[in-house]
């Protein structure tokens, strides 16, 4: 089949770590024998990042129309996100027309991209399917005029939700259960697996004498990079690896690595660490946790429903994500007990076998093919 993917959350040479989970999934679509085109809008006002040589093997044809963003600010009945949305719709339309794109269906990643895709491409009379991986859909609806949102989602033939929480929210919008496929996020186990720790530390020039904590994600308050840093700073002989970028930049003597890295480097850096820590306040289905488990890392994360669905006590400790002392104690309890740490690592590796991305990609496409009949 010819698949058109619409997602503004997709890696690039300027931002190699952005949307890696979307990238991994659509690469699997290609490996299953499908022809995939990706339209990934880029904000024209975004500051320039230093380019990397590659963000990984690319089997899709990727188009990157420029859009203008005015953030997400509510001014009376108007939300400034609508500026970006209208710009994105225009860019999607122009790209499809200019390149004479042929597709059997549209697969949009996240609801916002789905609504833009519908309003850009509905005249093509092709089916639309949307992956729902947001942490919450209720606040999202406030960004749109009510009737506009309701009319847009009527054009969507099916939804792939990563959690039961999101499935229930879709049902609350009036979506029939048979139009929703619940499938948690998964990992490419041919890329995410446990490497030799010493070799990976040598490769990335990381200290051999420290226990290392890994964080992967945007440097945002709700993700908690500064809470991780504060917890680590209170521990002896512990350093931290921060993979990502954002406004809450971790700075301090405990930071031994801090960089936005391409997808292929993440499993190598995870393998250099001893433990994964993510005190997130909200998630859809956390790719970073799934990837850390696949690399055999014990996990310290948040006692919230989304994470509790992903993490088993055999390899994780879940705490209040805002309680730095609890985060610190959880990290220390694992790092100070080598036998326990090794057991948790083996349990994580075994658990990861339940979440393989090739099976997930096949299941999603089977759902879509069934819905198109």
Domain 197-352 has CATH 3.40.50.2000: yes
Q: Say what percent of the chain tops pLDDT 70.
A: 99
- pTM to 2 decimals? 0.79
- Helices 338-352 and 324-335 cross at an angle (nearest 10°) of 100
pLDDT digits (tens, 9 = 90+) for 195-234: 999 999 999 999 999 999 999 999 999 999 999 999 999 9
Largest CA distance in the chain: 61
pLDDT of residue 172: 93
**In whole angstroms, what is the distance from residue 287 CA to residue 283 CA?**
9
pLDDT of residue 47: 55
pLDDT range class, residue 17, cuts 50, 70, 90: confident
Q: Hey, where are the domains in the chain?
A: 2-186+357-372, 197-352
pLDDT digits (tens, 9 = 90+) for 298-348: 999 999 988 988 899 999 999 999 999 999 999 999 999 999 999 999 999
C-alpha 310: how far from its chain's center? 14
pLDDT digits (tens, 9 = 90+) for 97-139: 999 999 999 999 999 999 999 999 999 999 999 999 888 888 8
Domain 2-186+357-372: give its CATH code: 3.40.50.2000
pLDDT digits (tens, 9 = 90+) for 134-164: 888 888 888 888 799 999 999 999 999 998 8
197-352 matches 2-186+357-372 in CATH topology: yes
């Amino acid at each position: 089949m010819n698949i058109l993917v619409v997602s503004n959350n997709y890696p690039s040479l300027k931002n190699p770590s952005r949307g890696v989970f979307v990238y991994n999934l659509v690469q699997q679509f290609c490996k299953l024998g499908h022809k995939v085109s990706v339209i990934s809008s880029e904000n024209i006002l975004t500051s320039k990042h230093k380019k990397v040589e590659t963000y990984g093997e690319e089997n899709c044809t990727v188009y990157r129309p420029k859009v203008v963003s005015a953030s997400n600010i509510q001014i009376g009945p108007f939300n400034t996100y609508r500026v970006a949305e209208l710009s994105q719709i225009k860019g999607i339309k122009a790209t499809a027309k200019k390149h004479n794109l042929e597709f059997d269906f549209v697969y949009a990643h996240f609801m916002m991209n789905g609504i833009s895709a519908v309003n850009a491409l509905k005249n093509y009379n092709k089916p639309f399917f949307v992956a729902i991986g947001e942490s919450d859909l209720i606040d999202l609806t406030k960004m749109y005029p009510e009737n506009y949102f309701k009319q847009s989602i009527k054009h969507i033939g099916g939804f792939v939700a990563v959690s039961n929480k999101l499935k229930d929210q879709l049902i609350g919008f009036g979506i029939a259960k048979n139009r929703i496929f619940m499938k948690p996020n998964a990992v490419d186990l041919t890329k995410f697996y446990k490497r030799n720790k010493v070799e990976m530390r040598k490769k990335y020039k990381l200290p051999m004498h420290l226990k290392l904590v890994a964080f992967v994600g945007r440097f945002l308050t709700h993700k908690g990079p500064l809470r991780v840093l504060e917890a680590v700073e209170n521990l002896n002989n512990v350093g931290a690896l921060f993979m990502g970028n954002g406004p809450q930049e971790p700075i301090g003597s405990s930071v031994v690595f801090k960089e936005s890295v391409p997808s292929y480097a993440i499993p190598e850096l995870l393998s250099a660490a001893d433990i994964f820590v993510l005190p997130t306040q909200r998630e859809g289905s956390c790719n970073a946790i799934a990837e850390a488990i696949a690399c055999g890392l014990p996990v310290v994360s948040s006692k919230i429903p989304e994470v509790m669905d992903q993490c088993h006590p055999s390899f994780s400790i879940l705490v209040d994500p805002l309680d730095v002392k609890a985060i610190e104690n959880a990290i220390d309890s694992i790092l100070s007990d080598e036998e326990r740490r090794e057991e948790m690592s083996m349990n994580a590796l075994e658990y990861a076998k339940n979440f393989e991305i090739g099976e997930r990609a096949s299941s999603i496409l089977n759902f879509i093919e069934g819905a198109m009949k």
